[in-house]
Amino acid sequence: MKILSIESSCDETAAAVIEDGRKICSSVIHTQVEEHKLYGGVVPEIASRRHIESICGVTAEALEQAGLTAREVDAVAVTAAPGLIGAVLVGVNFAKGLALSAEKPLIPVHHIRGHVAANYLAHPELEPPFLALIVSGGHSHIVEVQDYTHYHILGHTVDDAAGEAFDKVARTLGLPYPGGPSVAAAAKTGDPKAYRLPVPHVEGKYNVSFSGLKTAVLNEVNKAQMKGEEVNVPNLAASFQERIAGILAEKLLLAAADTGAKQVCLAGGVAANGRLRQLVNDGAQKLGAKVYLPELKFCGDNGAMIAAQGYYQYIAGHTAGLELNGLPTLPIDYE
State the distance between the two ends of the chain, measured CA to CA, in whole angstroms. 24
Q: Which stretch binds Zn ion (CB under 5 A): 49-57, 129-137, 144-152, 311-319?
A: 129-137
- For residues 75 and 271, which CB has a smaller minimum distance to ligand KG4 in the complex? 271
136 binds ligand KG4 (CB under 6 A): yes
- For residues 111 and 243, which CB has a smaller minimum distance to Zn ion in the complex? 111
Whole-number minimum distance, CB 215 to ligand KG4, in Å?
18
Beta bridge partners of 2: 19
Query: Could you give the CA distance from residue 13 to residue 333 in angstroms, rounded to a whole number?
Result: 25
Residue type, 261: A
Pick the closest to residue 197 from 171, 169, 174 (CA basis).
169
- For residues 75 and 143, which CB has a smaller minimum distance to ligand KG4 in the complex? 143
136 binds Zn ion (CB under 5 A): yes
CA gyration radius, the chain: 20
Q: Which does 91 bind (CB under 5 to 8 A by kind): ligand KG4, Zn ion, none?
A: none
114 binds ligand KG4 (CB under 6 A): no
Whole-number minimum distance, CB 49 to ligand KG4, in Å?
19
Residue type, 260: G
By CB under 6 A, the residues from 4 to 63 that bind ligand KG4 are 10
Stated length of the chain? 335
- For residues 128 and 163, which CB has a smaller minimum distance to ligand KG4 in the complex? 163
- For residues 192 and 300, which CB has a smaller minimum distance to ligand KG4 in the complex? 300
301 binds Zn ion (CB under 5 A): yes
Beta bridge partners of 249: none
**Selected binder of ligand KG4 within 179, 192, 283, 326 (CB under 6 A):** 179
Q: Which residues contact 164 (CB under 8 A, 6 or more apart)?
A: 137, 138, 210
294 binds ligand KG4 (CB under 6 A): no
Query: Could you give the CA distance from residue 10 to residue 20 in angstroms, rounded to a whole number?
Result: 26
Q: Which stretch binds ligand KG4 (CB under 6 A): 24-32, 42-50, 87-95, 163-171?
A: 163-171
| SS3 at position 30 | strand
Pick the closest to residue 244 from 281, 217, 219 (CA basis).
217
DSSP secondary structure letter of residue 320: B
The footprint of ligand KG4 (CB under 6 A) covers: 10, 115, 136-138, 163, 166-167, 178-181, 184, 268-270, 272-273, 300-301
Catalog residues that contact Zn ion under the rule CB under 5 A.
136, 301
